[in-house]
Structure 1
Amino acid sequence: MKAGLCAECKGRGFCGLKECPITKRFYAGLRTRVSKEYMGESPSVFIGSRNYPSVSGGPLMIGESDDPEDWVRRNYSIDDIVGIRAGTIRGNSRYKVKQTLPDLPIQEIALSKKPLDVEVAFEKPVSFDLKFDGILAPVGLSGSIEKLKVLDNASVPVVVDRITSDTDLKATEGVIELYKSGIDHHYITQLLTSGQLGVKRHIVPTRWGITAVDDTISYALKREVMRNPQVSGITMLTASLHANRIICVLLPGEFRFEMIEIWGQGSMWGGSEGDTIVVDSEGEKRKSNYSPITGAYYSARLAVLEYLRSIGRCASVFVVRQVSKDYWAPLGTWVIREASRKAMNSVPISFDDTAAVETEINMILGSRHWRSYSRLLNDIKSQKRLSDFF
């Protein structure tokens, strides 16, 4: 199988196999009875991006938590999460993104801190409709909504009520204020995608909203971090979550961020004959182009900047993400965000020079192939400091 084929295929049979092994495992986790009706909890909403600006969206229906941070707290395995997502129903109604929207049931669902009970009638029985996306957590079932009724009232924190009621507050400012008030990423994304933030409000596809929230918060943190004194030495922090290993190295210098993503041989989106590697980077200016690493880049950068702000320091940073074949289902960029946060909470390991840290990374990864992709390390090695002249 050629490198990247699964990423292109996403269960559509390009490999020639009779059954997609990833789709098959999701289908095995399906426990929801196929029906034309649903009555129960809706923890969140989903807005698609296909056919933008005419999109489909609606409530996600499952009697389980839909918050990735909660999944991490509960120590859910990949199979646990697949079981939840296989039985999750994505309800679909049609919306024009740019039109002025009246109050919608999906807005009440997204606004509520706790899941709301809903009663839904579908046009026909829900069907298995798994689609893979590296940014989104997958959903197993979908159905076109004929009728949707919310059965109870939203529970809304005071700060959320204040910011969503302020129609003079820009969406970016609302996102930052919510974040600084302790509202988690998932909740903020729900508010943005359901069209409840900003001056000119409209719904936003969920996959775009996730990255927009990562990027908006990161930029605010980056401006703070760049004013801090630089770290004094070289340190490495590392951790793993769901077969995603994150290695983060902090080096003295002005703020720079580089990420190297390695899909190992035989992994879900890796090649059969070797690793698939993608790299991207930025400096102090705001990043203008969309990363070829896609949402994982923004999720990892957010975790790193959260850490730098917490220690009151600035640094040049490079992050390596290594994905093994045990990561058999794409769960979304939340995995990289939470794996990176886990790494940033690990005990830092100090090194005397870049050569020593490179040797350590080679041992962890079992390869030195990554090194030729790092422009940041090359630049640091070639830089001359004032002390070099005395």
Structure 2
Amino acid sequence: MVPSISGDTEILDTPEWWMGKGFDEIVDFRYSLLRGYSKANVADAQKGGRLIETLQDVAMMTKPVDTELVLARPPRKILDMREDSQPFGPIAPLTSFHAGNSSVDNRIEKAFYDSDLAADDAVLQLYRNGVLVTRIQRAFSLGMFGESKRRKLVPTRWSITAVDSNLSLKLMARVRYHPLIDEYRVYKYTYLDNIYVGILTPEHWKFEWIEAWFEPELLATSFPDVNMVEDVEKSSYVSP
């Protein structure tokens, strides 16, 4: 994806920086990004090729660079809104992609060229070194981590799930060894019409996750149905 405007555009594809922004502003961020698409084989992460190598180079750069897309036809001006992904804007088949130069993030570069480092270890190492999760997910999607013979291209939504799952399990494993608290604690946060409540209890480690939401098309009715899901996990969930 490339922006249709010039200047410092990194915030457009960096959700970590969206805190405090409104619905309309976030949608504008996403709609201003143009998607060019091209078919690829998952094994292209190993074989390389000009397009894949250029995208991998961009993923390692520390700052946004000038980019140029050559499209096969005019883009479709759509706003793709899905429950399981960020909003996406205009899209068109890609003929070629060119990018300028910038300095390289040595942390990502080191993981990329370490063909013996497991992908899970690379993800955790980059996170501990302060690399934004979004950047880790992007590089993961481009098959930049792991043993050389096992590297594959990964769909964006799968890369997000894989990185989040890997980091969550690693961090939860550490929580098991934290000292017990001696009181009940309640934390609440509201943002973009969502309410988040966290309750900490003075017990051995386990967690219960409850999520509830209304169906959008039923909100105008007097008694909208509430959807609810629950997950309970004990310490064995993250045992070494």
Q: TM-score range by the shorter chain?
A: 0.7 to 0.9
- Tell me what 2:28 maps to: 83
- Tell me what 1:61 maps to: 3
Amino acid at match of 2:76: S
Structure 2, unaligned stretches of length 5 or more?
none
- Tell me what 1:331 maps to: none
- In the aligned structure 1, how far is the partner of 2:186 from the partner of 2:121? 33
- Tell me what 1:239 maps to: 189
Amino acid at match of 1:174: A
> What is the deviation of 1:138?
0.9
Match of 2:211 among 237, 261, 266: 261
> What is the deviation of 1:154?
3.8
- Tell me what 1:106 maps to: 55
- In the aligned structure 1, how far is the partner of 2:211 from the partner of 2:219? 11
Equivalent pair of 1:194/1:204 in contact (CA under 8 Å): yes
- In the aligned structure 1, how far is the partner of 2:43 from the partner of 2:237? 27
What do the CA deviations read for 1:224-263 (whole angstroms, capped 9, x no partner)?
1112222211100111121111000011222212211111
- In the aligned structure 1, how far is the partner of 2:2 from the partner of 2:152? 19
Equivalent pair of 1:239/1:247 in contact (CA under 8 Å): yes
- In the aligned structure 2, how far is the partner of 1:146 from the partner of 1:159? 31
Q: How many residues align?
A: 225
Percent identity reads 28
Equivalent pair of 1:101/1:202 in contact (CA under 8 Å): no
- In the aligned structure 2, how far is the partner of 1:254 from the partner of 1:156? 44
1:196 aligns with 2:147: no
Equivalent pair of 2:212/2:227 in contact (CA under 8 Å): yes
Amino acid at match of 1:111: M
- Tell me what 2:72 maps to: 123
- Tell me what 2:123 maps to: 175
Which shows bigger deviation, 152-161 or 222-231?
152-161
Matches within 5 A, 1:1-390: 59-63=1-5, 64=9, 65=11, 66-72=13-19, 75-99=20-44, 100-103=46-49, 104=52, 105-150=54-99, 152-199=100-147, 200-264=150-214, 267=216, 272=221, 273-286=224-237
Structure 1, unaligned stretches of length 5 or more?
1-58, 288-390
Q: Alignment partner of 1:116: what SS?
A: coil
> What is the deviation of 1:271?
9.1
Q: TM-score, normalised by structure 1?
A: 0.54
> What is the deviation of 1:268?
6.1
Amino acid at match of 1:167: S
What do the CA deviations read for 1:147-186 (whole angstroms, capped 9, x no partner)?
2111x12432222221221111000000000000111111
Larger Rg: 1
Equivalent pair of 1:270/1:276 in contact (CA under 8 Å): no
Q: 1:85 to 1:106 in 2, by over 3 A?
A: same
Amino acid at match of 1:254: H
Q: Alignment partner of 1:282: what SS?
A: strand
- In the aligned structure 2, how far is the partner of 1:214 from the partner of 1:269? 31
In angstroms, what is the RMSD of aligned CA positions? 2.0
Equivalent pair of 2:141/2:156 in contact (CA under 8 Å): yes
